[in-house]
Amino acid sequence: MKPGLLILISSLILFASCRKSNVNNSKSPGAYYDIYVVGGTYKIGVGYNNTAACWKNNTLITLNDTNYNGCVGTGIAFNGGDTYMSGFENNAFEVSNESEYPVYWKNGVKNTLKTLSNASDVITQANFIAVSDNNIYIAGCQSNLSLGEVIWINGVPTAFGTLNSSPSGLYVANGDWYVSVFEPQNATAAYYKNGVRINLSSGSLNASAQNIYVFGEDVYVVGYIINSAGIYNAVYWKNGVMTTISSNNSTGGSIYVDNGNVYVGGTENINGNTIATIWENGVATNVGPPNLDSYCFQVITLNSDVYAVGYETDSAGNSEALLWKNGVTTTLGPTPSYAYAIYPKLE
């Protein structure tokens, strides 16, 4: 793969990146958890025909009716006995003046979110979801001339952020919402807390925030900078202080903190291929195959095990959803498919 295609990791956020919202680390040792993975499948030769999908313990569950074309699942959350999933759908029969529109599912029942514009050919997506204190938070984007990021709280949309940008992560803690943002037109990495912008970099080097995680009073944001030689460096910021994870033409895309250890999921470019990579306290493990392009979209820990999800692209250009546990790969399938988010649910 050409080094320039590392940018694909960031641009995928607009289409579903989808990776991660609130997954906290208050796990119960020895308890049994079901592992849910969210993403989409794609039917070759049927036009724009993604299908929102969820894998439970590696078994595929199709979440939307076959009459709805172009669905992608982007995030998942649980509250009590209820399951919530965010996504977006492309279906001219439902909303004829939007090319994509935001939805979420509650226990498999689809709900269409209100948008802030009725302009033609608007792309509106629900990229992340979190449920806290029985309130539903969904972060997404709307691409027209006046809007960028949108947050829905219990279905009510509010615009924030800059033009032509999209959320790259969502976390909700103690009634506060945090959204990291991907801004291709802006050299400064940033996130928003309750709609107030917090810059993480000065703009002297191109930088981007790709995900956010809150642990106690500490705010972690992962992403990348582009150094003076034009090389991507995976980095994270803790309360605004930057740490470089890798200078090996790399990007950070997901971050998780457990027992003082910092886990980052992302990619490294090795011998011309983009390789899914997990860093634990800065030590890299390349979990993707050495001869194919692969991408890691979310990493978490559960009872000392490290889980991550993403996909690889074969030599024919077909993508296949993957789950990694302690570096061991499980193919979720079918082909083509994508995995964007993972969530353990206590049973």
Residue 232 corresponds to which tokens in the numbers above? Answer: 């991507």
State the CATH number of the domain containing residue 244.
2.130.10.150
pLDDT at 207: 95
Predicted local confidence at residue 53, as pLDDT: 87
HSE (side-chain half, CA atoms, 13 Å) at 12: 24
Q: Read off the pLDDT band of 34 (50, 70, 90).
A: very high
Q: Quick one: pLDDT band at residue 1, thresholds 50, 70, 90?
A: very low
**Burial class of 120 by CB neighbour count within 10 A (0 to 12, 13 to 18, 19+):** exposed
Contact criterion met (CB below 8 Å) for 266 and 296: yes
d(CA 60, CA 156): 31
Instruction: Report the alpha-carbon distance of residue 252 to residue 264 in Å, rounded.
Output: 6
User: What per-residue confidence (pLDDT) applies to 109?
Assistant: 85
Number of structural domains in the chain: 1
* Residue in 270, 38, 23, 275 with CA at minimum distance from that of residue 170: 23
Which residues form the domain of 21?
3-346
In this prediction the pTM is 0.89
Average pLDDT over residues 255-272: 96
